[in-house]
Amino acid sequence: MQEIIDAHTHLSERGDDGLNRLARQNGLRYTLDELLDTMRRHEIVRALLLSPPLQGGGPLPNDEVIRLCRKSEGMLAPVITVEPTAKEVKAAIKLAEEDRKEVKAFKVRLGYVKTGAESPVFDRLYDYAESEALPVMFHTGDTAFSTGELARSHPLTLDGLANKREELIIILCHFGNPWFEDVAELIYKHPNVYADISGLIIGGAYAEKYAEWLAKKISEAIYFAAGAQKVIFGTDYPVTKHSETLNLVRRLDVDESDKEKILRHNAERVFRL
């Protein structure tokens, strides 16, 4: 197997981490040692670490994400989560400046915050991201909690932003699930828009049929986009196990060269890893 890059993982090792429940359901310890050991076992050479949600609704502070990355001996690289206030935007840019050799992207939690992607509050963030060629990752599609707002996390809400900011590298997390066809159109239409396949696998009575359905939907999106050069591998650990997302890639009805792009080459290029 080729070396792999995982563009979407979470970790905190805190008791108030909102993903602890999902980690337990997946039989995971959800620790730094487990994450790194699992990466090595699957030949994942690098991963991007994003803030998990904490109980109460906010994300893990970005400095804790950076601290965990520094303990990983180069295997993890931080993504800075940006909340929709002028203060948080300013702090995120300052942190990115201070750790410019380490920070690989920003993240906006659409659907979990009461703000859309085109809000003026993010203008300064987008200006900085464009100037530094740093991607901005957006949560799209289904939300992990019933209080999420799908009207704000629908992938088509990013179309206007992509039109206005053609130099901004936009990553649609979770392939906009369940709006796969809309994401196919966005990655086909916009040269600056990409999508990751993180956090798609779930359990349940129809888990096997669902995995087949996912593979079909993503394969069809790749056909529509005329190739897999805009699709990026990500697990969303601990929401989905590494083995499950790797199996999803194996199920895709696409050329092996496209699977190689998904597993490593696209992330390597987009995040400059």
pLDDT digits (tens, 9 = 90+) for 8-63: 999 998 999 999 999 999 999 999 999 999 999 999 999 999 999 999 889 999 99
Q: CA-CA distance, 241 to 254, in Å (whole number)?
A: 22
- What confidence score (pLDDT) does residue 65 get? 98
pLDDT of residue 1 exceeding 60: no
Ranges of each domain in the chain:
4-270
The whole-model pTM stands at 0.96
Model confidence at 2: pLDDT above 90? no
Residue 148: band (very low, low, confident or very high) from pLDDT cuts 50, 70, 90 = confident
DSSP letter string, the chain: ---EEEEEEE----TTBTTHHHHHHTT----HHHHHHHHHHTTEEEEEEEPPBBTTSPBPPHHHHHHHHHHTTTSEEEEEE--SSHHHHHHHHHHHHHTTTT--EEEE-BTTBS--TT-GGGHHHHHHHHHHT--EEEE-SS-SSTT--HHHH-GGGGHHHHHH-TTS-EEEEGGGTT-HHHHHHHHHH-TTEEEE-TT----STTHHHHHHHHHHHHHHHHHHTTSSTTEE----BTSS-HHHHHHHHHH--S-HHHHHIIIIIHHHHHTT-
In the structure encoding, which two tokens stand for residue 1, read together?
Answer: 């197997």
CATH of domain 4-270: 3.20.20.140
Q: For residue range 209-224, what is the model confidence (pLDDT) as tens digits?
A: 999 999 999 999 999 9
Rounded mean pLDDT, 98-107: 96
